[in-house]
């Protein structure tokens, strides 16, 4: 069996349309502890305290390589940067 390390560089540039949704939830006392990643075995009622959504155009750009390892196997790896133009949301205090 011969090993053929053929390298193929790749470059990608794409336009996209993205939808973003954010919901802030407060579980109250007895709910999960996000700092410690602990959930307690007590029933809690979640309460949505804020919700926003936005859809807009954006882009992603990336690159990668494809290695031909054997006649029937190939390894592929890539890195992408994805950006969607979204507005800045402020809370009631302006932050």
Give per-residue pLDDT as tens, 10-53. 888 999 887 877 777 666 665 666 666 666 666 666 666 677 78
Count structural domains, the chain. Answer: 1
- At 46, is the secondary structure helix, strand, or coil? coil
- In this predicted structure, what is the pLDDT of residue 79? 93
State the pTM of this model. Answer: 0.49
Structural domain contains residue 19: yes
Structural domain contains residue 30: yes
Q: Which domain holds residue 79?
A: 6-84
- In this predicted structure, what is the pLDDT of residue 10? 84
Structural domain contains residue 91: no
Higher pLDDT, 62 or 7: 62
Q: Specify the range with the lowest mean pLDDT, choosing from 5-9, 57-61, 77-81.
A: 5-9
Query: Mean pLDDT across the chain, nearest whole number?
Result: 76
Structural domain contains residue 89: no
Nearest to 61 by CA among 80, 87, 36: 80
């Amino acid at each position: 069996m011969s090993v053929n390390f053929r390298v193929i560089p790749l470059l990608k540039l794409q336009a996209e349309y993205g939808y973003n949704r954010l919901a802030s939830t407060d579980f109250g006392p007895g709910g999960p502890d996000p700092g410690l990643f602990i959930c307690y075995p007590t029933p809690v009622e979640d309460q949505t305290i804020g919700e926003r959504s936005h859809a807009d155009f954006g882009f992603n750009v990336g690159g990668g390589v494809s290695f031909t390892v054997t006649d029937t196997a190939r390894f592929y790896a890539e890195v992408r940067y994805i950006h969607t133009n979204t507005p800045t949301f402020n809370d009631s205090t302006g932050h």
